[in-house]
Amino acid sequence: MTSTIYDVASRAGVSIATVSRAINAPQTVNTTTLQRIQEAIDELSFIPKAEATARARRIHRQIGVLAPFFMHYPSFTQRLRGVASALRDTGFELVVYNVDTPEHARSYLHTLPITRRLDGLLIISLKLDDQEAMRLVQHRLPTVLIEGAHPKLAAVEIDNVAGGEMAAEYLVAKGHVRIGFVGGDRQLPGYAIGTSELRYRGFTAALERHGLAPVLPGFAPRTSTHEEARLQAVDLLQQPAHPTAIFAGNDTLALGVLKAARELGLSVPGDIAVLGFDDADFAEYIGLSTVSQSLEESGRLAVEMLLSMLSDPARSNRRMRLPLQILERDTA
């Protein structure tokens, strides 16, 4: 027998109104109560009646995009542009869900599969645990991850560790032996992928193979803004044995490094070479050398993969890894 909202309320020990709020406005429900309701929904395999009808009739043609702080990162904007371009003329509406807290991530990943009127979902740079991934699968919401991966879900992957290695090898090949790193992911434990950290891991591993160690600022980064990067770069460039090259964890951070060099009267790349990561829109205009990961292409390919899953559910676990390349411009 199909479970009802009354069954969920009884199992969770709450009112029907609270269950309704947990489904439609989870941010208004106490975290502990929300968890009980979510567990009851999962245990009972509950699907709201209206949504079940909508799925049966396939009257809603919407693709959702779930991403953390998408408005703050050029990489998210460019990926979304690729998504929007690929959806043009398909008849699907694009719906963007911005994640700015761990609670937002958990509630979206719980409610989207059962209540949102989505035909498919794209998830950008978010970590999913096994329960969250299985919920997407069990509720038959076709999903493609971008920059992340889970064995149960399709994905367009980017190897950030390999990208960091590539950056180190490039700068070493240019003759640099004192190479600095400027990074700093937002502190979002548990749900956002720390791309800067992953790139740093590959960067240091490659340097170690050459008997080198990265030159680091004397303080730990707190954010991933260009101002934070400027402060890190000033610290690096004022050290007695300052680096002759700096790898920035993304192109936004590279802007801060370039500003620091200008403030200190250093020429780029004569006194200090600068290498970024992402190939953001502005990179070509300012002549920034960078590791390109084809941002728009990742969004476009993810949509193509998702649409193929909608037409043939057997294609639900495909994986694609995009190639990375160094774009040599003026700064390194």
CA distance 288 to 156: 26
What tokens does 17 get?
């109104």
pLDDT at 57: 44
- Where residue 51 falls among pLDDT bands split at 50, 70, 90? low
Beta pairing class for 245-248 and 273-278:
parallel
Q: What is the mean pLDDT of residues 323-332?
A: 96
Largest CA distance in the chain: 74
How many other C-beta atoms lie within 10 A of the C-beta of residue 148?
Answer: 18
User: What's the pTM value of the predicted model, to 2 decimals?
Assistant: 0.81
Cβ atoms of 17 and 25 closer than 8 Å = no
d(CA 4, CA 2): 7
Q: Which residues pair with 325 in a beta bridge?
A: 292
Per-residue pLDDT of 155-172, as tens digits, reads 999 999 999 999 999 999
Query: Is the pLDDT reported for residue 48 higher than 90?
Result: no
Per-residue model confidence as pLDDT tens digits over 231-284: 999 999 999 999 999 999 999 999 999 999 999 999 999 999 999 999 999 999
Backbone phi, psi, residue 329, to 5°: -125, -135
Measured CA distances, 330 to 261, 275, 299 (Å) = 14, 10, 28
Core vs surface per residue 285-295: b (16+ CB within 10 A) or e: eeebbbbbbbb
pLDDT in tens, 52-98: 555 544 555 889 999 876 555 778 889 999 999 999 888 898 988 88
Q: Where do the domains of the chain lie, and which CATH numbers do they carry?
A: 1-46 (1.10.260.40), 58-158+297-322 (3.40.50.2300), 160-292 (3.40.50.2300)
3-state secondary structure the chain: CCCCHHHHHHHHCCCHHHHHHHHHCHHHCCHHHHHHHHHHHHHHCCCCHHHHHHHHHCCCCEEEEEEECHHHCHHHHHHHHHHHHHHCCCCCEEEEEEECCHHHHHHHHHHCCCCCCCCEEEEECECCCHHHHHHHHHCCCCEEEECCCCCCCEEEECCHHHHHHHHHHHHHHCCCCCEEEECCCCCCCCCECCHHHHHHHHHHHHHHHCCCCCECCCCCCCCCCHHHHHHHHHHHHCCCCCCCEEEECCHHHHHHHHHHHHHCCCCCCCCCEEEEEECCHHHHHCCCEEEECCHHHHHHHHHHHHHHHHHCHHHCCCEEECCCEEECCCCC
Q: What are phi and psi of 220, to 5 degrees?
A: -80, 135
pLDDT given for residue 246 in this prediction: 98
pLDDT of 308 over the 80 cut:
yes
At 81, the amino acid letter reads R
pLDDT of 188 higher than 60:
no
- Per DSSP, what are the bridge partners of residue 327? 290
List Cβ neighbours of 20 (8 Å cut-off, separation of 6 or more): 5
